[in-house]
Every structure is written in structure tokens, then in C-alpha cells.
Structure 1
Amino acid sequence: MKFRYAMVCSSNQNRSMEAHSLLKKQGFDVSSYGTGAHVKLPGPSLREPNVYEFGTPYKHMFDDLRRKDPDLYKRNGILPMLKRNSSVKTAPQRWQDNAADGPFDVVFTFEEKVFDMVVEDLHNRDHVLMKTVLVINLEVKDNHEEAAIGARLALDLCQEIEATESWEDSVDDVVSGFEKQHRRKLLYSISFY
């Protein structure tokens, strides 16, 4: 594998971590991030989410929710999600706080507002390396089933990108081919490090 990938979603660590887990199993150099102020996981009601700081170990979140209501968090898929996440990395990281992890060749986002945040963040950084980075938004609903589908689509797109000599020269063809094959519209932008 020749490229470095980042998977970025909002704050609940489902879509980006599902893609991170799948790509890591396939041997890709991949990292994952959230963009929110905190990690927010569903709670007993919409008004009562479980909120954690970025950097809180997934194991701590798992133990906390298992202590609060194991049946609820098992039934809604949060405990299995946290178990998967802890097998991929120790704790969630925030995109804006981890500039030193880059540069990445390709950054995937899974909702348009996150795409906008990542593009703006890259635009506002000092471009000392003048290295290009492709930012792609693959819109994915935030539920466990759609996250799994989105991860497979991200993997397919990564494999297409890897098969090119230079993504800079063939990104338009790769994107249009993907859109035709999967009937999904992608947003993409080229930024710099």
C-alpha cells in the first residue's frame, strides 16, 4: 500500500472507526478521527447522550456504559461498537488536535459538514510541505448497518486509488467510475499540507 488514509466523522466514532477497522485488516496505512468538541454516544434518551473527552480510552467508555445499563447499550449496538473500536486503537482522537499525525494522502469524511470542516482546517494550516491531499466525502447514514456498507465502499475506493499511478492525474476518472458503479455521489477537494 502506498498511500496514507484518514477516516473522519463527527463525534460518535461509528463510521470512521468501522472504515478504519476494515482498512486496517486489509493492510492499509489508516488513522481515524472525530471533529466534534467531545465524543457523544447515544444515551437513554436524545437529551441524555453520554459525553466523553477525546482521548478517553474506549475501554473506559465500555466499562462506564456496561455499568450504567448493559442491556440498553448492548441492544443499541454501542457496547459492540466500543469493543471493536478498542481492538483498533486505544482512544478516539480529534482531527483538529492531531496535525502531527499527517500528512495524509487521502482523507475520507462521511457527512458533508465534516467534509467542510476538514477542508477548512486544511486551508487554514500553514502549507509548509506543499504536499497534496485528496479529501473525499462519502455520505453515510450514522447507524451500524450503513457504517458497514460505507466502510466497504471506502475500501473499494481506496483500492481504486491505490491502483492508479498518480491519484492527482486520475481522480476525476476514479470518482466518476465509482459514482456510476455504486450510484453514490461523492464530493471531493484537493488541499495541501
Structure 2
Amino acid sequence: MKLRYAMVCSSNQNRSMEAHALLKREGFDVASYGTGQHVKLPGPSLREPNVYEFGTPYKHMLDDLRRKDPELYRRNGILPMLKRNVSVKTAPQRWQENAADGTFDVVLTFEEKVFDMVIEDLHNRNHVLLKPVLVINLEVKDNHEEAAIGGRLALQLCQELETIENWEDCVDDVIINFERQNNRKLLYSISYY
């Protein structure tokens, strides 16, 4: 079965893009989004993040941070992350504005508050298609190491979903097996387009 996937995180473009890059490399039909008001990347201090509008090209962010302090942003992993992102897509997109992208079969989030936002957004849309969408939260800490682990887990979960004929009939079994294999608890819900 060929499903369409969305990877969604808050605003820093690390966890969703790591999963997007892995799934894209494996030939999946995948997109990625953030749910925040802006894209926020770590800055010189917690009170000084680098803030960009959604739609700002990753190349622009990369060039901007290279100008500001290349050593700091190389050391904290932001430059390598942005290089990866440039190779995956042009610019970050906001989930709430993705209507033009069509529908997804599976939406994977990486923190519970984003899961809640996606569910609420889907609930508030007009359900004209009555097409089901499986929303799953795979909790992943927001750092580069955990994002890499989360990306591999997301790939594994999506590979398992691809092997079944109809996810609506088997989703409970897939989730239970995944949780057992990986010692991770997943939240999931079914919504509609």
C-alpha cells in the first residue's frame, strides 16, 4: 500500500525534517511541517533565538547564521541541520496553511502539544471528503541525537504501516507491536478530511 505521510513538529525544523529526510531517501511520499508562529532556531542565548518566517528558504537561514557566528552554529549542530534541510526541501512550511498540499493518510507528530494542535486543526476543517487520516504522536526530545533516533523510529513505523492492506483495520495491532519492540508509548487518533 502506498500511503502519504506528513511529519510535524513545533517550530525548529529538527525532528520533522530528520524523519522527512529518512523517509524521502527510502522512497516514501512525505512532507514536513511546523506548527509554531515562526521558525525558531537556537541563538547565542535562550533569550536570543534566531526567528524566521515560515517560507524563508533554508539556504537564506544557513547563509544568515554563517554570517552571524559560523563557529557557534557549527558547534551546536544548527549549520549541519540546515544543510540537511536544504537537501530535502526549499523552505519550512506551516501545518495550518497546508490545505493546498492535499490530504495525508498518516500524520506523525513528535510532541504531545503538536499532536493536540494537529487534531484540533483537523477537527476544525470542513470534512467534505470524509477521508480518514491516522495521527500518531511519537514523543522525541528536541535535540540532534534524539531527532536521529526518532527519525529511524518514524521510518520503522511507516514501513510497518506500508505492509498492511488497510491501516484502519490493523492500526491497533501495528501500534501495540511497535510499542513492544521499541519500548515507546504512542498516542494515536483517527480524524477526517
Whether these two folds match at TM > 0.5 is: yes
Question: Is there any run of 5+ residues in structure 2 with no aligned partner, and where?
Answer: none
- Whole-Å Cα distance in 2 between the matches of residues 135 and 98 of structure 1? 16
Superposed CA RMSD: 0.6
Aligned equivalents of 1:154, 1:100: Cα separation in 2: 24
The AA in structure 2 aligned to 1:4 is R
2:5 is matched with 5
Q: Deviations over 1:141-187 (max 9, x none)?
A: 00001000000000000011000010000000000000000000000
Cα distance, 1:89 vs structure 2:
0.3
Deviation, 1:99, is 1.3
Aligned equivalents of 1:66, 1:15: Cα separation in 2: 22
Q: Does the residue aligned with 1:128 lie in a helix, a strand or coil?
A: coil
Aligned to 1:91: 91
TM-superposition CA deviations, 1:92-149 (whole Å, max 9, x none): 0000011121200000000000000000000000001000000000000000010000
Runs of 4+ aligned residues of structure 1 deviating over 3 Å after TM superposition are none
Structure 1: unaligned runs, 5 residues or longer: none
Alignment of 1:1-193 (within 5 A): 2-193=2-193
The CA deviation string for residues 5-46 of structure 1, in whole angstroms up to 9 with x for no partner, is 000000000000000000000000000000000000000000
Q: Residues of 2 paired with 1:85 and 1:52: CA distance? A: 15
Q: Percent identity?
A: 84
What TM-score comes out, normalization by structure 1 length? 0.99
For the residues of structure 1 that align with 2:124 and 2:105, how far apart are their CA atoms?
18
Q: Within 2, Cα distance between the matches of 1:108 and 1:32?
A: 9
| SS of alignment partner, residue 8 of structure 2 | strand
